[in-house]
Amino acid sequence: MFKSRWHYLIAALVTFFLLIAALGVLAAVLIYPNLPSLDSLTDYRPKVPMRVYTADNSLIAEFGEERRAVVSLSNIPHFVPQAILAAEDERFYQHGGVDTLGILRAALSNVMSGGAKEGASTITMQVARNFFLTREKTFARKLNEALLSIKIEHALSKDQILTLYINQIYLGQRAYGFGAASYAYFGKPLQKVTIAEAAMLAGLPKAPSRYNPVVNFERARQRQLYVLNRMHVLKYIDDAQYEQAKNQHLVIRSGPLSTKNVSADYVAEMVRQAMYDRYQDAIYTSGMKVYTTIRKRDQDAADQALWQGVMDYDQRHGYRGVEGTVQIPEDNQNIETTLDDALQNSVVIHNLQPAVVLEASPKLVRAYSKDSGMITITGAGLKFAQRALTGGLPSKLDIRRGALIRVEKDAKTNAWRIVQIPTVEAAFISIDPKTGAILSLVGGFDYNLNKFNHVTQAWRQPGSSFKPFIYSAALEKGFTAATLVDDAPLTIPAAQAGGVEWSPKDYEDTYSGIVSVRQALTKSLNLPTIRILQAIGPNYARDYTKRFGFDPARQPPYLTLALGAGSVTPLQMARGYTAFANGGRLATPYLITRVVDQQGRILSQTVPEKPHQVIDPRNAFIMTSLMQSVVRRGTAARAMQLGRTDLAGKTGTTNDQVDAWFSGYQPSVVGVAWIGFDQPRTLGRGETGAQAALPIWMKYMGTVLRDVPQTGYAVPSGIVTATINPLTGLPVANGETGYNEYFYQETVPVLTTAPAIPEAVPATPEPPQPDTPQPDSSPVF
């Protein structure tokens, strides 16, 4: 048997050399001149995905059929190409494209082993195949591959060929090239991999699906050890490096390939849609870079604020029960494999990990998480789900062995606790009122759960957060901050209420009697606002709101408009509030600043639309003063915890607490927070704008304004103050006490009796401090 095998080998070698000689002549005469042009190699343009960046160059997302992170030999560790050569072509720098010695060695190995187990493709041959040929196993393809390899070697240097290989080869997980694969498997750039990680990556080209460490880590591990051994034999690494690399614990990413370092999925999708409308499928392959107005710190703050606000709301409303059940085998020997399979389709949402319960009692829960292994939950960690541990829920929702739950590790105590995925949704957007640049945008709790962008697509009733636009219209109709209005019950005929007789109430169903306009907005009183709208006319008010960018067709021409019964999006609300924050000038929101090609050439650049004056600067100033009162001592007084005097805004709550809002600003930023259910239903008793939405806004503002000095609002020309008697809403007479209030110069109220109006004095940025007036005979609306 052994003798016949040697005879076979000798005959094969003789035949091989004769065939090579014949083919060499044939190739030189017929095939070689007709080989494809190497333009795609000499002018290498890989299919690079479109990348989306923040204004400060943090990566938001990338979109493309082939995920790449193009690298050069000069900026990666030397052991990366060494690992590749050890695994694929150790004689790369010695052969001319076809490794004759390698072919002989492979042939000998295959004969000795009794089968075709070892190939002889060089790196150059793999480049030829990847760029020009199919993977079919035919003699014609192999011949073309060999001849192309020789042609490539004559046209390019060895380093150029190796660079092409490193950036082009497919390595599984949708990753093309070692740069992308490093992110896919280890979540880091290729420049930061270790020798052990480089060896794992170098083992992939042989069979990316077979040696994929996400799919089969043990098989990939054996391939890695082979590569490390070859590196050691070839003296690329010394004994100490070899031992250290063999023993390094590798952490493999199991999620989708991503290089992003800021969470802004809704922003990314907005950009993708806009770019596709303009450039079509080219965005997925041409390596465009899109720079947005988003700032990383703002986006991170907004994302964290919204997440915390939603989780806090969810905690207030109790545990709903387990997500499902898993059949746990009695045999504990393979239990982790079974549980891993059961958790395969349950993804981590933010840091809410899915886990399977192994043991449950009112005092202790043991569970298995794919990401964290066995965990134990006790004490405060059980409090939220106590009802499900003591039979307080339907049995199918109880926590018992086999239950699928969500767990979270407390960042402060490092202890585990039971949580759940919230069902409520939320949105947050912030805008620079001076330019219209969108600084942050979070369209929902989690993009993977719900891709509906609530910032731009959710048409909801704004409730009382719409009142400032009504009050602004009233100022233009002659109302002042000191005008007295009646807060008393009233019934609105059907014709004025949209078809049904209406008896509106204040939130707490109590009445304050006669109040000033300032007090009415500060306390968010409904009945005075309706009377104000009655006085100026719903049609006038509806048309007036067009100045702020609202669609009149979505605002009812009835008195219900006073309480925000129309429809708006959070983006529209943020834009509308820019007029108050920016001296009456309305900003036009924009998201993309510029688009550049792969070489950095500008393809398009946004010229921001200059904010235009839509209301009197005096109107904006007085409205800001009124909304500062809302923050300082009104429905949003909780915001004073931020310790700033330059905040202004308005809460909003719709009927039955279906929608909760807070819209507010500081001179440099406008922010709008909304929370509600996609299928409108009550958020629950007490879930007002101040309770549910304001904390989101506060957490964001507290972060982004931390190092921003407090700023006053410039007093425009034509604003004066007068000392007002809180009982009459008129200037004080001799001997009376009062408070200072802001007015248009021409709308300072006039006494109808002998005392003269005190001389008006220039206003100061400090808003007035009104007292509670009592009813009298002065005009009341």
C-beta separation of 409 from 416 below 8 A:
yes
Is 625 a known active-site residue?
Answer: no
Cα–Cα distance between 146 and 559 in angstroms, integer?
Answer: 83
Cα–Cα distance between 252 and 232 in angstroms, integer?
Answer: 24
246-249 CB contacts, 8 Å cutoff, 24+ apart: 246/196, 248/194, 248/196, 248/197
Cα–Cα distance between 83 and 97 in angstroms, integer?
Answer: 19
Burial of 362 (0-12, 13-18, 19+ CB in 10 A): exposed
**Taking the CB of residue 456, how many other CB atoms lie within 10 A of it?**
17
Quick one: which of 263, 593, 579 has its CA closest to 437?
593
SS (H, E, C) 553-622: HHCCCCHHHHHCCCCECHHHHHHHHHHHHCCCEECCCECEEEEECCCCCEEEECCCCCCEECCCHHHHHH
Cα–Cα distance between 138 and 142 in angstroms, integer?
Answer: 6
Strands (E), 621-668: 648-653, 659-666
3-state class of 713 per DSSP? Answer: coil
Phi/psi at 736 (5° precision): -85, 155
C-beta separation of 741 from 480 below 8 A:
yes
C-beta separation of 294 from 440 below 8 A:
yes
Where do we find the tokens 């050569």? 85
Buried/exposed code over 299-324 (b: 16+ C-beta within 10 A; e: otherwise): bbbbbbbbbebbbebbeeeebbbbee
**Taking the CB of residue 770, how many other CB atoms lie within 10 A of it?**
22
C-beta separation of 294 from 441 below 8 A:
yes
Kindly name the residue from 464, 512, 524, 625 that is annotated as catalytic. Answer: 464
Kindly name the residue from 88, 90, 153, 425 that is annotated as catalytic. Answer: 88
Quick one: which of 123, 326, 302, 349 has its CA closest to 673?
302
Dihedral sign from CA coordinates of 696, 697, 703, 704:
positive
Distances (CA, A) of 259 to 181, 272, 592: 11, 17, 20
Quick one: which of 350, 347, 381 has its CA closest to 364?
381
Is 88 a known active-site residue?
Answer: yes
Helices (H) and strands (E) in the chain, counts: 23, 23
Give the chain's end-to-end CA distance (angstroms, integer): 113
Cα–Cα distance between 646 and 643 in angstroms, integer?
Answer: 9
List active site positions: 88, 464
